[in-house]
Each structure stands twice: as C-alpha cells, then as structure tokens.
Structure 1
Amino acid sequence: MATDTIVLITGANTGLGLETVKSLLQSSKKTYTILLGGRSLEKATAAAKQVKADFPQSQSVVTPVQIDIEDDQSIKTLFGNLEKNHGRLDVLVNNAGGQFDHQFSSGDLTMRQMWNKSWDVNVTGTYILTYILMPLLLKSSDPRLLFITSGTSTLAESTNPAVRINHSPTEKGWPKDGGVFAGLGIPAYRASKTGLNMMMREWVRLLKEDGVKVWCVSPGMLATGLGLGNPELLRQMGALDPSVGAGVVRDVVEGRRDEDVGSVVRKDGIQPW
C-alpha cells in the first residue's frame, strides 16, 4: 500500500529487531511496510514468514531483505532494491549490532580483533549504511532515523553502583579477571555504543535543515542472545523481556517521543550523556 510507512530494521531476524517487527505489526495507529533485514536472507525470510503467521490479522506487510552492514556491496545492493521497489524510506532503525567482548574472553578473538569488530559493526557499518540510504530517507514526508544504543553507554551513570553492568569493582593487582560482566567487563561494547551516541549527534547536526528526526534508543537490559547468547542467564540478572525495548522503539517510530528528538531516549525518560 502506497500509504504504508516504510520501515527498515537491520538485524531484525532475532532479538530486539524481531520484537520490534512484532510490535509494529500490532500497531493500531499505522500500517507498515516492514523491511526485515538480516545478514542471511534465508533467516530473514524464515523470520518474516513466522511473524506473518503469528499476526495474521495485521494489515502491515513484512518483506525480508538481505543486509550485512560490514559489507559495502550488500549495502549498495540494498539501496538499489529499495530505490527500485519503494522509492523512499520513512524510518531507518539501525538495530544491527554486536557485543564481542566475550569472544576475547573465550579466546575466539584477539583483543585487537575484538575491539576492531566492536567498532566496525556498532559504529562504522552503521554510519556507512545510514550514509548510503540517506537519499531515500530524504524523499520521505516524515523521515525518522533511529540508532539502538545501550544503557552501558552513558558517561554520567558509568559509576552508578545501582546499575550492575555499569559498575564491576575489581581486586587489586594484574592481570584482572577477563570474564564478561566482571573484571575487564565489556569495554569495547560500551565504548562503541558511547561512540554511537556521538555519531547520532553528528547526524542531528548534518540533517538539521532537512527535517529528519533523529534519536538514539536505549532499550534497557533485555533477555536476548546479544553477547552471551544466553537470554535466560540475562533474565536471571534482571534483564527485561525484549518486547519492553521494542515498545520504546515503536513509541519513537509513531511520534510519541518527538519532544525528545536528538536525545538518547529510554522507557523512563531521557538517558543522560
């Protein structure tokens, strides 16, 4: 339908991205053409088929698309497909990301590889995708640009002992325990998401005269496979159901957080820098 709001969600075949697709399908405010992005088209297709079966009454459309934000050719191919099939993009949800610190702890990545991959996925790839797709966003009558950040990215709350993941005291001496969420913790992930916040502010500056509304969304600590690959363990640590974070994303997409444009928004307000 030409009147649908066209939404691209990267990394949408699992986790928060998939929950966001489900949330939009349940919307009573709008109908959507949801482009469900995944690195594997096969997995994206399977996810799209499943959500359409789960919400058969929805008037929105779900279309799987292949997108690997580490691959420039994948991004360029996606641009061509979107330009040909839709002509514009109304909402870009930069959800694709990763937490790779644990892969250093397990020996699967060197420290340099872990740091480089964290920034390549969470910042560099996200920026390049946004840059290449920007001409399609600028054709929208209400363009919205979202970046999924993290509660661990805030500088102001980085020493708050009430936030377990933000405050992991260590014993004196060296080397420190390199376990995830303890000792060395998740510094590459946290730093890359802090960098993402500044990148969002740069897009706010660049697009000030173009009418594009820009936010970072901090969805909260969610029980997904991000990082540890163990949602149940995260749930035991106090993680919320991913649908909670998806609700925050939908609020931004549907205009309920327009007064907070240019900020990092979370369920209970604005996340401090």
Structure 2
Amino acid sequence: MHDLTGRTVLLTGASKGIGAATAEALGAAGANLVAHYGGDRAGAEAATAAIPAERKLLVQADLADGAAVRRMWEEAVAWQGRVDVLVNNAAVMLDSPLASNDEEWDDAWTRSLDVNVKGPALLLRAATRHHVEHGGGVIVTFSSWAAQRGAGNPDLIAYSASKAAIKAATQTIARAHAADGVLAYVIAPGIVRTQMSEVSAQRTGGEEALTASLAMKEWVPPSDLADLVTYLASGGCRHLTGATLDVNGASYVR
C-alpha cells in the first residue's frame, strides 16, 4: 500500500466502476479525495463511505459544461489549497453506428468529444498550470486499448477516437513539462468488469464469447486499476512519465 497521506487527489467519475474502486483505494491510502460525480451522488457516497468526512469532498459537474468543470477545479483547489493529483477517469461510451441518421451520429460524436475530451482537457490544462506553479504534481488519464488498436465494435468509433485524443493530449503534457516535475501517465485498460462493459458485451455476441477471446479468459477487475492509480499517485516512479500502461491480461501486446 502506498501512503498518500497529505496528498489531495481530484478523481472524476467516482460513483461507479473503475472510479468507485479507485475512490476506495485512494481513501484507504490516506489521500484527501475530491470525488467528482455526474448525476449519481448516491454512488459517490457509497464509494467514499469508508473515508473520514474531513478527508473527502464530493463535487457534482457535467463534464460537457466547461463552466461547471472550471468551477469544480476551483472548488477542489480551494478545499485544501492545492491539488497534487488529477485522475481523469470519467467517460461515456456511446454507440455511433455508421448506419445511424445524421442527427444521431452528430449527437453521439458531440457528447463523446465533450465528455471524454474537452472536459478532461480543461482539467488537464488547469492541473498542468497548477502543478508547474507549485513545483510538480501527478496526472493520470484513463484511455482505452480501443485508442491503440481501434474498437472491436465498429459502433464505438466515436468512443475510440475520443480516447485516442485525450491520450495524445496527456502525452503532450508529459513531454512538454517533464522538467517542471509534472508527471503524466496514461492507463489503457482492456475489458474491465464494469456495468458499461457488460452492457457493451451484450451488443457484440455476449459476455461468454467475449471472455473466450481474452488471453487470460477473464475480465480485468477494477481493483487492479485502482491499485495502479494509487501507485502512480504516489509519484514513486518519475521516469515512467509519458508511458501508456496496458492493463488487459496479455490480450493485446504491443
């Protein structure tokens, strides 16, 4: 267990899936946690239930609303006077089939880019400026293996493109600000045991067929990713900055 006592972490999408597991792990490591949620406050409260009240702050924001994202960042900084770690986790996975009508196509792309790219990029910008001013900090961005190899489901073209975009943005920050002490990492999970992945699997042949295609014949548990985030948040491996960390049980090896 890495000790994050005294470090303040802003985690987006803390109410379910990877975010909920990460919230629990960060809290157990002693972090002061700013837990963002979109609409599911009950989920965020459940994920942070074990964290003492003085070490957690729950903040609501629609990542598609730039003003709301900026207010969230300002509130996070004001709480403890500093944000040491940003974890860009929240995302939407919307179908954007080539056969959809123009309105449906445009809506899926707009929402995907707003929530998965523009909102996280605003936080990436704010965190980078903040970290440079305060002598360094950590940024962790969740991408996807779909950003590396393309989505296996062609209906997820907007999702895979958005995950590639925020990956590139994070790597750009890593290269530009390594000398400033800004450590920026990308995590690219494969099939993770979340509700979002379970719903997606039902659209593409079912869970059994998907599991059979995986090298380990099992999905990635969210706890594996939560443990990785906790390690990265500690700043314990500075020269790993800029890396994309594949977590897929050897199903996709580059």
TM-score normalized with structure 2 length? 0.78
CA-based RMSD of the aligned residues comes to 3.3
1:116 aligned counterpart, secondary structure: helix
1:70 aligned counterpart, secondary structure: coil
Deviation of residue 139 (structure 1)?
Answer: 5.0
Residue 221 of structure 1 aligns with an amino acid whose one-letter code is I
* Residue from 22, 25, 29 that aligns with 1:23: 25
Residue 18 of structure 1 aligns with an amino acid whose one-letter code is A
Q: Distance in 1 between matches of 2:161 and 2:24?
A: 30
- Superposed, which structure 2 residues align to 1:243-262 within 5 Å? 243-255=223-235, 257-262=237-242
* Residue from 101, 115, 120 that aligns with 1:121: 115
Question: Percent of aligned pairs with the same residue?
Answer: 23
Q: Which residue of structure 1 lines up, in the alignment, with residue 38 of structure 2? A: 39
The change in CA–CA distance for 1:3 and 1:250 in structure 2 (over 3 A counts) is closer
Structure label with greater radius of gyration: 1
Deviations 1:187-227 (A, max 9, x none): 11112212222111211233233210001111331121336
Kept in 2: contact 1:25–1:60 (CA 8 A): no
Residue 194 of structure 1 aligns with an amino acid whose one-letter code is A
Q: Which residue of structure 2 lines up, in the alignment, with residue 208 of structure 1? A: 178
What stretches of structure 2 of length at least 5 have no aligned partner? 212-218
Q: Which residue of structure 2 lines up, in the alignment, with residue 130 of structure 1? A: 124
Q: Which residue of structure 2 lines up, in the alignment, with residue 176 of structure 1? A: none
Deviation of residue 68 (structure 1)?
Answer: 2.1
What stretches of structure 1 of length at least 5 have no aligned partner? 159-164, 167-180
* Residue from 81, 84, 87 that aligns with 2:78: 84
Residue 24 of structure 2 aligns with an amino acid whose one-letter code is K
Deviations 1:34-61 (A, max 9, x none): 1110123xx33x33432344x37x7982
Count of residue pairs the alignment pairs up? 239
Q: Distance in 1 between matches of 2:190 and 2:164?
A: 15
TM-score normalized with structure 1 length? 0.74
Q: Distance in 2 between matches of 1:109 and 1:26?
A: 45
Q: Distance in 1 between matches of 2:88 and 2:48?
A: 22
Deviation of residue 114 (structure 1)?
Answer: 1.5
Q: Which residue of structure 2 lines up, in the alignment, with residue 95 of structure 1? A: 89
